[in-house]
Structure 1
Amino acid sequence: MSPAIEITARRDGIDPALPSTRPLLLLLHGYGSHEGDLPSLAAYLPDGFDWVSLRAPLGLPTGGFAWFPITVPGRPSAEPVIEAADAILAWLDANVHPGTPVVPLGFSQGGLMATQLLRQAPGRFPAGVVLSGFTLDATLPGDKALAAVRTPVFFGHGDADRVISAETTARASAWLPGHTALTEKVYAGLPHSISAEELADVSRFLTETLV
């Protein structure tokens, strides 16, 4: 049995364990970053949302954290990805009120984790946001159920991304429409980053989907 993965969180003064009808954004950072990276995005997102930001469990020698090791870029081994998603789900079970709608929002490696949560717990999340992310190249037990649920997903990425390969992005673009209600946006000239235009689109997606 794999050991439990401890995940720490930074939150904005709310107590996610208490009942709330406000959607809770679950912020999932990218490779080599930390839980303090994505909260600045909250200022650009709808007012009716709370957020928590999780730190990935694997510390890196160069600093920062990762959700899973990089083996072949864009094609991680399934086992550590599944374990990391299980750890996030366990964190949610222990720390977030079961009636609170939770929306995973991930960047890069965290974007893969957002899709992985939908696949391992189909129907649990009302929506997902994937920014410059990708999907695990494997067939999982929950995929058929996710395809039946059709969770709304926003997938945004730039056409100048040199970190996530075009092949990896294309694989996600091909997989998501068959398993989710996909809104995909491609941003001209955007590298491996998040733009103001993209955040405006995310805000619109969240408002139309959940508010």
Structure 2
Amino acid sequence: MQLRYISQINNNEITNNQVTSNAANTNANATADVLDDRLFIMFHGYGNDEHEMIRIIDAVYKAEQQVSCPVTSPLLAPQPSYLSFHGTYDRPYMGGAYWYPDGCTVEKRRRACEQVSNAVVSLLDSTMFTHRRKILVGFSQGGYLAYRMIVDHPTMFDAAILLSPSFKGENHTTSLTSPTRIFLAYGANDRTIPHDDQLTARRVLNAAGHLEYHEYRGMAHVICDQEINDIHDFLSR
């Protein structure tokens, strides 16, 4: 399959890329930042695009800058390394994209996620990324995709940040076996993700023993400032 994404590798230089699933290299500049070996692999929510996740990770790094170096020039501040992916299916007329059709069967949803997962893992099989800590980040549909990547590749990722993930159809899943540290967050007023699915996500992910869970009072199916701060704290540990 074909992957579409935006990449930034620690040097403020952004490159638009379009590659096939068997690609071993990208056009991103591989200049390393010895102070930050994290690589964020990011997936947006339904109807959005890859810029959604870039805004989120930039906000996390801004929070980090305010804590560690409040007087540092933005030009000298650490920059995140990331691959921010564009959904498999584009929405005609309305814009944005999605990873699997809304309302599709569990089997089709898992199959769609598996195809993306295998293509991304093939992309990551590069010397450029060998020594980097790999951290999944996903919102809504993208959060579910990130979860399925842990299921398919349980030892590959150091951490995962699952923001208001869909978890429809996983109610029969008993547990997750993976050492991946997981940050899971929902808004207390989220009506997009049914409460039962939220409970399923918490149960399944907690079974692995590496879950940090947050619920935000008054928040719907969005991201809030406190959530950004909590993500920063999670990544700092």
CA distance in 2, matches of 1:9, 1:180: 33
Deviation, 1:100, is: 1.4
- Name 1:39's counterpart in structure 2: 54
TM-score (norm 2): 0.74
CA distance in 2, matches of 1:138, 1:160: 21
- Name 1:137's counterpart in structure 2: 170
Which of 1, 5, 20 pairs up with 2:2?
Answer: 5
Which of 80, 84, 89 pairs up with 2:112?
Answer: 80
CA distance in 2, matches of 1:159, 1:74: 25
Read off the aligned partner of 1:6 and give its amino acid letter: L
CA change 1:90–1:139 in 2 (3 A) is: farther
CA change 1:139–1:164 in 2 (3 A) is: closer
Deviation, 1:200, is: 0.4
- Name 1:56's counterpart in structure 2: 87
CA change 1:19–1:78 in 2 (3 A) is: same
Read off the aligned partner of 2:82 and give its amino acid letter: W
- Counting matched residue pairs gives 201
Say whether residues 1:172 and 2:201 are aligned partners.
yes
CA distance in 2, matches of 1:94, 1:150: 22
Q: Secondary structure at the match of 2:2?
A: coil
Deviation, 1:95, is: 8.7
Deviation, 1:113, is: 1.3
Which of 197, 202, 205 pairs up with 2:226?
Answer: 197
Contact preservation (8 Å) 1:18, 1:97 = no
CA change 1:183–1:59 in 2 (3 A) is: same
Gaps in structure 2 of 5+ consecutive residues:
15-27, 66-77
CA distance in 2, matches of 1:185, 1:86: 29
Rg: which structure is higher?
A: 2
Read off the aligned partner of 1:108 and give its amino acid letter: S
